[in-house]
């Protein structure tokens, strides 16, 4: 029996701002620009938007954005927790709302002055006692203050266990930088990367070098979710939502799930894979392209295993075979991703997923039937499969 | 009292006792008094038997290195770089996140035996760190 959410909804509009290192405008302004662009893209009036969903880390509250873009009655407003782990979670909440009739047209958004404003990894302090702050306090006093430091601890163990090399990480960085060469919106546009450049770049948190890290970006991105029927009447080819899920597993911490017996896999991503394949009735063989969350290069190799494109420890072999490239098994982050396009916390990867279904990526592979998109790695996460109508 | 660069943990009911143990020189591990399961980081309830009753044991301080990262950038004031952060599998069976001291970055290896040294900041704040175990093969 088909899952009740399957193909009930679609992404009908995508909207992005310019990506820069200094936007010169407020985050509210970026969110509004992206939202209006998504409405324009879909051919739908902002007054028809009745739901707004973002990340708990987003500074723009739903009603601020609603007032700013001229929305009317809202039937849904919520924020999803856990940093980039929220990315496709926002879509899940929109899909549930639209499929159940709670809302008709929902905007999922993330807008941030991620370089000129509040940057990631600036530490946490103060006199507030909460379970979240106590969690961070097992790491912060030791100087373990940045996402790179947390991810490196798992990456080092994983690489040691399976013989993954710096060159393997470099191959991921270079593959995505190559894609950025055709995407004028990308930070990496006009800035090609060689293996020599990669290996010579400064070590940040061993085993991770500069080019293993994503960008810091000022920009916004909005995704419009509506019913399948409505999407067919709008301007763009719908990107049907075959499946979308959230996933968190035993021993889950935010970025520091260090106390599980095994540290060389991503249990929450494996759960997301099981759930999204189950909901969509699809499997890894049905996926033609992906936008796997890529705050760090090592995450891509690990996710190839989580989503069943290969066995445990074989992610590096797929990468060495060129699987991530345009003519490979799984063209991945064909816009450049968070590494080489922009870091809009994974929302821009969802936008590329929709483009791949529309056939409008600047690196469009042939015959894309299904695209897999994932949320943040090392945090409570999620997965999304988009498909042709 | 001297100022310290180090971010201090918020001291709540679930974790303040652990830091008090550290202040007195001990590396504590929380124990469920019903099923005897050890747990770290501390939490108010046992994940195994759901008992809210707990006490703690004092770790021997001996363990092996499970994973590590060597931090170079960004450099926060007060820390010495390269900064070696480690996961230690304590011989009691729980895992602990800490810093490795008295060890050159090139000498760090997976599985190396380590032992606790209690570090004290100029302002008197104490936290457990680790060093290569004395007498262990290099």
Interatomic CA distance for residues A285 and A302, integer angstroms: 18
CATH of B60-138, one of 2.40.30, 2.30.230, 2.20.28, 2.40.50: 2.40.50
Residues of A with catalytic function: 293, 343
Q: With an 8 Å Cβ cutoff, are A152 and B69 in contact?
A: yes
Residue A52: pLDDT over 50? yes
* B25 vs A: CB within 8 A: no
Residue B113 C-alpha, separation from nearest chain A C-alpha, in angstroms: 16
The model's confidence at residue A196, banded by pLDDT at 50, 70 and 90, is very high
pLDDT the model gives residue B44 = 85
Is A89 a member of any domain?
Answer: yes
Query: Would you say residue A284 lies in a domain?
Result: yes
What's the confidence (pLDDT) of residue A358? 98
* Chain B from 60 to 89: CB within 8 A of any A CB: 66-74, 76, 79, 82-83, 85, 87
Question: Distance from B6 to chain A by nearest Cα, in Å?
Answer: 6
- Of residues A354, A96, A158, A71, the one with CA closest to residue A239: A354
Chain B residue with CA closest to A141: the answer is: B7
The reply to whether A188 falls in a domain is no
- Domain count of chain A? 1
Nearest residue of chain B to residue A210 (CA atoms): B73
ipTM of the complex: 0.91
In this structure, what CATH number is given to the domain that contains residue A383? 3.40.47.10
- Measure the CA–CA gap between B87 and B99, rounded to whole angstroms: 8
Asked if the structure places residue A255 within a domain, the reply is yes
- Give A151 to chain B, closest Cα distance, Å: 9
Question: What is the average pLDDT across B116-133?
Answer: 97
Q: Which pLDDT does position B138 carry in this prediction? A: 46
| B67 contacts A205? CB cut-off 8 A | no
Tell me which residue has tokens 């028809």. Answer: A48
Q: CA-CA-CA-CA torsion for A43, A45, A51, A55, nearest 10 degrees?
A: 70
Per the CB < 8 A criterion, the answer to whether B92 and B108 are in contact is: no
Q: Are A42 and A133 in contact (CB under 8 A)?
A: no
CA distance A378 to A373: 16
Q: Is A149 on the interface with B (CB under 8 A)?
A: yes
Contact check, Cβ <8 Å, B97/A123: no
The count of CB pairs under 8 A between chains A and B is 106
Quote the CA–CA distance of A234 and A236 in Å, as a whole number: 6
Tokens of A338: 């968070």
Residue A123 pLDDT: 56
Cα–Cα distance measured from residue B41 to residue A387, given in angstroms and rounded to the nearest whole number = 42
Range of the domain at A282: 9-118+213-387
**Which tens digits make up the pLDDT trace of B63-121?**
999 999 999 999 999 999 999 999 999 999 999 999 999 999 999 999 999 999 999 99
Q: Per residue in B13-42, pLDDT tens?
A: 889 999 999 999 999 999 999 999 999 999
Query: Is there a contact between B68 and A135 if contact means CB atoms under 8 Å apart?
Result: no
Helix (H, G, I), strand (E, B) or coil at A67: helix
């Amino acid at each position: 029996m088909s899952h009740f959410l399957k193909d009930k909804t679609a992404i009908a509009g995508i909207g992005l701002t310019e990506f820069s290192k200094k936007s010169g405008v407020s985050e509210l302004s970026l969110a509004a620009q992206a939202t209006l662009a998504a409405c324009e893209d879909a051919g739908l009036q902002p007054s028809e938007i009745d739901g707004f969903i973002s990340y708990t880390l987003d500074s723009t509250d739903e009603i601020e954005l609603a007032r700013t873009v001229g929305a009317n009655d809202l039937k849904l407003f919520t924020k999803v927790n856990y940093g980039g782990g929220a990315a496709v979670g926002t879509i899940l909440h929109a899909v549930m709302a639209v499929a159940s009739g709670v809302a008709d047209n929902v905007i999922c958004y993330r807008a941030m002055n991620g370089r000129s404003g509040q940057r990631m990894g600036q530490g946490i302090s103060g006199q507030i006692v909460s379970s979240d702050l106590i969690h961070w306090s097992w790491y912060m006093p030791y100087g373990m203050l940045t996402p790179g430091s947390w991810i490196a601890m798992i990456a080092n163990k994983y690489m040691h266990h399976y013989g993954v090399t710096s060159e393997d990480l470099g191959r991921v960085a270079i593959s995505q930088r190559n894609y950025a060469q055709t995407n004028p919106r990308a930070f990496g546009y006009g800035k090609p990367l060689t293996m020599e450049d990669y290996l010579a770049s400064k070590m940040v948190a061993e085993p991770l070098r500069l080019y293993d890290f994503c960008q810091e970006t000022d920009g916004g991105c909005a995704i419009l979710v509506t019913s399948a029927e409505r999407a067919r009447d709008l301007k763009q080819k719908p990107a049907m939502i075959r499946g979308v899920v959230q996933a968190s597993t035993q021993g889950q911490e935010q970025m520091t799930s260090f106390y599980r017996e095994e540290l060389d896999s991503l249990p929450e991503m494996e759960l997301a894979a099981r759930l999204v394949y189950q909901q969509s009735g699809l499997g890894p063989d049905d996926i033609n392209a992906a936008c796997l969350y890529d705050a760090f290069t090592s995450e891509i190799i690990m996710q190839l295993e989580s989503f069943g494109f290969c066995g445990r420890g074989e992610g590096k072999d797929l990468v060495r075979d060129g699987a991530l490239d345009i003519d490979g098994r799984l063209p991945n982050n064909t816009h450049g991703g968070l590494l080489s396009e922009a870091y809009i916390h994974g929302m821009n990867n969802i936008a590329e997923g929709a483009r791949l279904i529309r056939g409008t990526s600047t690196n469009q592979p042939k015959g894309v039937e299904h695209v897999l998109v994932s949320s943040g790695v090392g945090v409570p996460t999620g997965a999304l499969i988009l498909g042709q109508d | 009292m001297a100022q310290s660069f180090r971010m201090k943990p918020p001291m709540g009911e679930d974790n303040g006792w652990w830091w008090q143990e550290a202040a007195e020189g001990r590396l504590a591990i929380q124990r469920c008094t019903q099923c005897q399961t050890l747990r770290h980081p501390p939490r108010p309830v046992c994940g195994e038997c759901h008992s809210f009753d707990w006490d703690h044991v004092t770790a021997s301080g001996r363990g092996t290195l499970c994973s590590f990262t060597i931090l170079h950038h960004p450099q926060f004031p007060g820390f010495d770089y390269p900064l070696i952060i480690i996961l230690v599998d304590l011989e009691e069976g729980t895992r602990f996140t800490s810093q490795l001291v008295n060890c050159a970055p090139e000498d760090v290896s997976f599985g190396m035996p380590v032992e606790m040294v209690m570090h004290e900041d100029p302002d008197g704040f104490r936290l457990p760190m680790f060093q290569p175990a004395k007498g262990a093969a290099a």
